[in-house]
Amino acid sequence: MNKTLVVIYDSITNSVFQSQVLAPLYAQLDAKTLDHVTLVTYERTKPDTATLNKRIPPRNDLSVIILKRPPFLGIISLWLGIPALKKLIATNSFTSILARGPLAGWIVLKCTPLAPVTIQARGLCAEEYRYANQESCPWWKKPKYNLMYRAYEKIEQTVYGTRMPVTIEVVSNALAQYLTKHFGTPTSSITLATKDIPAVMNQETITAARTRIRERLNIPTESIVYCYSGSYKPWQCADETIAYFIETYGSINQTILLILTPDIAPFEAALKKHNLDASRYRVCNAPAHEVTQYLAAADAGFLFRHPDVINWVSRPTKMLEYQAVGLKIIHNSTVGCLVEHT
């Protein structure tokens, strides 16, 4: 049997878990390219049965094992995750092992696996930690900040610079170039991820969804719709997007800004602050399984990011969703894989 072990360290509650981790596994199981998946997830708090079944619908060809994830204190925290996983690997005949990210990858490599190992590189841990904390970190927390940054960087160096026979699966050419330059990752070990890219919708489905969602949102057929999909977070450039829409398209009456977000109240407040007439925008929280249906109602999608290496090497989920329905992407040249195709 083709039995694979999948190890994640960023929790099943992660916003992209179902679309970027679970959906590709289900697709492979349904296509019979995998016979069975054992999913090991390290969790701070063990989810109850109802939550677990909601996040991971039960099926006979998928087993879930939950292991304890202690607070991250550097490599010592990862050592605690080794014994249970090492025992699992030793007592099962896995034909392949997949680790998501450098933390899961570090633990897997320490378990001396015999099966082929693929480590998914989806971003840069140390740089993401730096980006999230550099401006908000008070001076008296700087020593801890520096220690944590170096810990993440050391883990990445160990994993991505390993000379063990592993495959490093990256999401972009920019990330591949970064890993090779900064960690010495052999180019022969790198592959580009494709299994987690959403399928492109056919034109008939797009047209039907476009008509249905525009009717639902009271958007005229002749309107030109620009979409922002995401949360009201500074790093997603929400305010910059609204300002750009008003400056560029505000004088064109047939244009409408469609915002798909769980953060309805903050967006409505921001739109009122910018004095955009209520007839010129729609704000709604699309169900996760209907996001691409709502996107089909648009003509173009916004994807602005701040100039930083973490954005340059990324492959944003929203970009993939825009591309799945054939939207033109309006961006500010801060994401490498978007610049490649401009």
Domain ranges for the chain = 3-192, 203-340
What's the mean pLDDT in 151-164?
96
CATH class of the domain at 3-192: alpha beta
Contact of 153 with 164, CB cutoff 8 Å: no
Residue 284: closest CA among 262, 303, 317: 262
What's the mean pLDDT in 1-13?
95
Contact of 338 with 329, CB cutoff 8 Å: yes
| DSSP-derived secondary structure letter, 240 | H
Binned at pLDDT 50, 70 and 90, residue 274 comes out as very high
What's the mean pLDDT in 239-263?
95
What's the mean pLDDT in 160-174?
96
Tens of pLDDT, residues 36-59: 999 999 999 999 999 999 999 999
Tens of pLDDT, residues 110-145: 998 999 999 999 999 999 999 988 777 787 888 888
Say whether 65 sits in a helix, a strand or coil.
strand
Give φ, ψ of 257 to 5 degrees.
Answer: -100, 120
Tens of pLDDT, residues 197-223: 888 999 999 999 999 999 999 999 999
Contact of 336 with 198, CB cutoff 8 Å: no
Residue-level pLDDT at 235: 87
Residue-level pLDDT at 342: 59
- Say which residue, 233 or 228, is predicted with more confidence: 228
Write down the mean pLDDT value for the chain.
94
pTM: 0.91
Residue-level pLDDT at 57: 93
CATH topology of domain 203-340: Rossmann fold (3.40.50)
- The answer to whether domain 3-192 and domain 203-340 are alike in fold is yes
Q: Which residues have CB under 8 Å from 331's CB, separation 6+? A: 302, 303, 304, 305, 338, 342
> What whole-number distance in Å separates Cα of residue 339 and Cα of residue 321?
17
Binned at pLDDT 50, 70 and 90, residue 263 comes out as very high
> If you write DSSP's letter for every residue of 81-141 in order, what string do you get?
THHHHHHHHHTS--SEEEEEHHHHHHHHHHT--SS-EEEEE-S-HHHHHHHHHTTT--GGG
